[in-house]
Chains A and B, each alone.
Chain A
Amino acid sequence: MTEKTWQKGLKWLLGVWLTGVTAAALLWAPPAAGFQGDSFRIVFFHVPQAWVAVLAFCVNLVASLRYLRGRRPLDDARATAAARLGLLFAILATITGSIFAKIEWGMFWNWDPRETSIVILLLIYAAYFALRQAVADEERRGALAAAYAIFAFVTMPFLIFVVPRVYASLHPNLVEAARGTVRFKMDPHMRMVLLAALVGFSGLFTWLYTLEVRVARLVAARRAQEEA
């Protein structure tokens, strides 16, 4: 099946869009008050990556639920693809967050509540794959992984909302510094670039996800052919 023009067009658009966002983030967005130099610019990548990691988790949730309902291997493949991407973007978000911390505060790690939440998400993804590896039977693997993912998902709101607030009572001085990152006064230009980055990364995730699912489909089809 050769590629349709609109698909090609979308890819070009995505490429141009994100290149533009990167350029804008590096060159156009005005510097934020109170930050060392241009370190904050990485936030334009960091926030969307964290967002995509969460988005991937949601996609994984839907696929897991569907797998439990119909036990279709394709749904399990979808869940795995989403989890793999979620892991990738959680790692990226942790790295960019850590780079920011290093430039801004001089330490690679700071344990501010948002960072901690991303790390916990990262651990959940890693645990998901550790579980998958430990089960030999395909259907059981899919079912157990789906059950774990769904269970983990319900603890996520607590990760994102409760942990930061409770954490604040434990480390008030740390939170003062962290507040600066998450709620800095957003210049309208900055807001625009951030929004554009969010859209761009979401598009990137969608493309990556569809690619991975297509691969899974092909592999499954090929295996079915060999067995026939």
Chain B
Amino acid sequence: MIRAARLTLIMPTKNSPVREGAPMQFTFFHLMPWPDLKEAPTEWPAPNAEFNGERGTELYDSYISTMADAEKYGFDWVAANEHHYSPYSLMANCNLVGAALAQRTKSIKLAMLGNLLPLLNPIRVAEEYAMLDVMSGGRLVAGFVRGIPHEYIAYNVAPSESRARMREALALITKAWTEPEPFGWESEHYQYRSVSIWPKPRQKPHPRILLSASNEESAEFVGEHTAMLGMALIADLDSALKAIETYRRVARGYGFDPSPDDIVIMQQAVIADSDEQARALMEPALKYFHGVLMRPQLDAQRIVLQKSRFFGTDTQREHFVGRLSKLKARTLEDQIEAGSVLCGSPESVVKQIKRLRQHLGAGHVILNMKIGNIADGVVRRGMELFRDRVRPHVAAL
């Protein structure tokens, strides 16, 4: 049930020219994983004794260069996100990476997908995003996410407060970006008696906002806020479609009719010269990702979910847990067939992207190409193939 009176209506900022019938858009996403773990940590948090600073510097250099080059490879956005206490991702603050990219790129949109809003000081987020928008000449896409359960242990925030904090913080940030006068803010979790941020964002009324959804409950939240919908780790196309339909229906109730470019699907992707090569590269990378990097997260998730109301209902909790288990347990072939990953030769990936467009109505696909310990050279080859042999065939779907 939607309680209109409790909503924050974010002004749809259709500053992008991409609308119905317009070209597909693509994002290059990087998780910044640690690729060198020999064994899977058995408990959360993963011990950090193995972390090596020199190797870390090398990785940041390589990863940030690859991300900056996404502009040359014809991607529309380059994206980063935030995770804590984990070799799964070295991106504790994606805004730092965004700042580096703002200096190294000229035209590509910088998508922060996003800051873990319930864990952070919302004023700080409003300020950092505004800085990124101004520094980049108005290229920020502002993603806000609730995050995955284990992050709440890292930042000592009650998981059961996550939804309320998300809602309040989002409303506060929108105010901080758009109010013409200094103001104060009173809500259950956030009280600021005097707010007037410098700088304000360059894009008016504010940068486009993307919110993530993995189920119907969160899709409803995105629709209420008339934001772009981001979905990752899709278990199968039919359940993803169900959430997208909910998003569309709810958004229309708020006077916003989402177009394909408002539906953003993230997929782990390996594009290689042949199907066989792509599979041979992706299989061990997924094994490392799910079996090594994700293992401590799953442990933390188990602890959090058994003792908190991170999800509103048992059904939602089961859906979340089931989705990850399903992804982990399936063969690569099953995942390709289900539409959970993009994998293959350029010709095969073109077909897989067409299916996402046709089945889900998605007009924007995020490619997560650095999977686990896959080599950076493989990622760059995939980016070349994307530019030369994928994008030209899916641009005008």
The reply to whether chain A is a binding partner of chain B is: no
Chain B interface residues (CB < 8 Å from chain A) = none
